[in-house]
C-alpha cells in the first residue's frame, strides 16, 4: 500500500463512525415512518404559521451572532461576526466533526487581527453555554415527561447544577491572571511547554476575559437564551403550521433532546440524527411522530438553506473556496493556530 493512500484511509476512518450512526438513523426512519402521512402533512403546511417561524429562525441566528460578538469582547464588528458564523454553519453542513467551529476560528483570525486561539476560546465558551442550556432544558422537563414524583424539585436541582457550572467559569475568568502566573512558574524549566503550550493557553485565558466582566458575562448568556427562546418560537409556529399544538414545557424538552442528540457523531449537518432526535422527543410526549418527522424535515431544511445561502455569500465575499479551506483545516493541528 502506498504512503499516499494512508491519509485517505485515515480520513475515511474518521468519517466512518458518524456515517454509520447517520446511516442507522436514516434506515430507522425509512423502516418505521408512515411516509404517506408525512408527505400529506408537508403538502398541507399552513404558510401563515410557516413564515413567522422562518422569521423567528432568522432572529435566533442574529441574536447568536450578537452573543458571539460580546464573547469576542466587541473586537470585531457585527457584520463580520454574522458572516463568519454562517460560514461555520455552512462548513458544519458539508463536513464532519463540526469542522465549522475550527473553520470560523481560522476565518476570523485571517480577516481580523485576532489570534486563532483567542477566537477558538470564545467558540468553546459559546458551546459550553449551549450545552448548559440544552442540559438545563432537558433535565428540567424530563420529570414532567415521565410524570416523576417530585419532578419540580428535580428540575430546580438541575437548574442549580447548571448555574453552578456557569458560576465556576466566571470564577476561573476572574482568576485567570493567577492561573497564568502558576502556569508560568510550572513551565519555567520545561521548554516545550513554555514555548508551545503556554502561549496557546494564554490565548485561551484571554478569551475568558469577557467572562471576568459580570455585565458582559450575563449579557452573553442572556443573548444566547434569547436565541434559544426564538428557536422555541420557531418550533411552536412550525408545529402549528402542521396542526400540532404543543405546550411550552414540551418545547423545552424537544429543544433539549434535539440539541443533545446532534452533539453525538454523525454525518455532516446531523443528517438522520437530527430527525431521529425530533421524532423520539415527539414519541415520548405522545405526539404524532409523522408530524414530528415532517417538522424536523422542514426545520432542518430552513437551517441548512438559510445558513448555506449566507455562508456561500460570505465565502464569495472573502474570496475563499470551501474546498481550499477544507484542505487547510484537514492538515491543521490545534498547536498550529497562531497564539
Q: What is the pLDDT of residue 335?
A: 40
Q: How many C-beta neighbours within 10 Å does residue 60 have?
A: 20
d(CA 71, CA 208): 8
Which residue shows C-alpha cell 499516499?
Answer: 4
Residue 146 DSSP code: T
**Residue extents of the structural domains in the chain:** 79-332
Residue 335 DSSP code: G
Q: pTM for the complete prediction?
A: 0.82
Enumerate long-range contacts of 246-252, CB under 8 Å, 24 or more apart: 246/285, 246/287, 249/141, 249/144, 250/141, 250/285, 250/287, 252/137, 252/140, 252/141
d(CA 76, CA 122): 13
Closest alpha carbon to 170 in 224, 118, 221 = 221
pLDDT in tens, the chain (339 residues): 454 455 555 555 567 777 888 889 889 898 888 999 999 989 889 999 999 999 999 999 999 999 999 999 898 999 999 999 999 999 988 887 778 888 898 889 888 888 877 888 888 889 888 988 888 888 888 888 877 655 556 666 666 776 777 777 777 777 767 776 766 666 655 655 655 565 666 656 666 666 777 788 889 889 999 999 999 999 999 999 999 999 999 999 999 999 988 888 777 878 889 999 999 999 999 999 999 999 999 999 999 999 999 999 999 888 877 777 777 776 655 444 544
d(CA 80, CA 100): 16
Residue 175 DSSP code: T
d(CA 143, CA 137): 11
Q: What is the pLDDT of residue 312?
A: 93
d(CA 223, CA 193): 37
d(CA 92, CA 311): 11
**DSSP string of 94-138?**
HSSTTHHHHHHHHHHHHHSS--HHHHHHHHHHHHHHHHHHHHHHH
Provide the grid cell at 212: 471576568
Q: How many C-beta neighbours within 10 Å does residue 52 have?
A: 17
d(CA 134, CA 304): 21
Q: What is the pLDDT of residue 192?
A: 57
Inter-helix orientation angle 47-71/214-241, to 10°:
160
d(CA 221, CA 173): 15
Distance of CA 57 to the CA centre of its chain: 14
Q: How many C-beta neighbours within 10 Å does residue 130 have?
A: 16
Inter-helix orientation angle 99-111/116-145, to 10°:
140
Provide the grid cell at 220: 452573553
Q: What is the pLDDT of residue 177?
A: 72
Q: What is the pLDDT of residue 217?
A: 81
Amino acid at each position: 500500500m502506498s504512503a499516499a493512500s494512508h491519509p485517505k484511509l485515515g480520513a475515511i476512518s474518521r468519517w466512518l463512525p458518524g456515517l454509520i450512526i447517520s446511516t442507522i438513523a436514516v434506515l430507522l426512519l425509512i423502516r418505521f415512518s408512515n411516509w404517506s402521512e408525512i408527505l400529506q402533512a408537508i403538502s398541507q403546511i399552513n404558510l401563515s404559521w410557516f413564515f413567522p417561524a422562518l422569521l423567528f429562525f432568522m432572529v435566533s441566528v442574529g441574536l447568536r451572532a450578537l452573543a458571539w460578538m460580546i464573547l469576542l469582547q466587541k473586537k470585531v464588528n457585527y457584520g463580520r461576526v454574522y458572516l463568519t458564523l454562517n460560514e461555520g454553519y455552512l462548513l458544519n453542513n458539508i463536513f464532519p466533526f463540526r469542522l465549522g467551529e475550527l473553520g470560523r476560528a481560522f476565518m476570523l483570525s485571517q480577516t481580523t487581527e485576532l489570534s486563532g486561539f483567542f477566537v477558538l476560546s470564545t467558540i468553546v465558551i459559546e458551546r459550553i453555554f449551549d450545552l448548559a442550556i440544552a442540559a438545563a432544558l432537558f433535565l428540567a422537563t424530563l420529570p414532567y415527561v415521565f410524570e416523576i414524583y417530585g419532578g419540580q424539585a428535580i428540575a430546580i436541582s438541575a437548574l442549580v447544577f447548571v448555574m453552578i457550572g456557569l458560576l465556576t467559569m466566571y470564577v476561573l475568568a476572574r482568576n485567570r491572571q493567577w492561573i497564568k502566573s502558576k502556569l508560568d512558574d510550572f513551565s519555567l524549566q520545561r521548554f516545550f511547554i513554555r514555548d508551545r503550550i503556554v502561549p496557546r493557553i494564554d490565548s485561551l485565558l484571554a478569551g475568558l476575559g469577557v467572562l471576568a466582566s459580570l455585565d458582559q458575562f450575563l449579557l452573553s448568556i442572556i443573548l444566547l437564551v434569547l436565541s434559544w427562546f426564538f428557536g422555541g418560537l420557531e418550533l411552536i409556529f412550525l408545529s402549528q403550521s402542521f396542526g400540532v399544538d404543543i405546550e411550552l414545557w414540551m418545547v423545552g424538552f424537544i429543544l433539549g433532546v434535539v440539541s443533545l442528540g446532534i452533539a453525538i457523531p454523525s454525518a455532516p449537518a446531523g443528517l438522520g440524527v437530527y430527525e431521529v432526535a425530533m421524532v423520539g422527543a415527539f414519541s415520548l410526549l405522545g405526539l404524532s411522530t409523522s408530524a414530528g418527522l415532517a417538522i424536523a424535515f422542514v426545520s432542518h431544511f430552513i437551517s441548512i438553506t438559510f445558513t448555506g445561502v449566507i455562508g456561500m455569500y460570505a465565502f464569495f465575499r472573502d474570496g475563499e473556496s470551501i474546498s481550499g479551506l477544507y484542505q487547510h483545516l484537514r492538515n491543521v493541528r490545534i498547536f498550529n493556530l497562531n497564539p
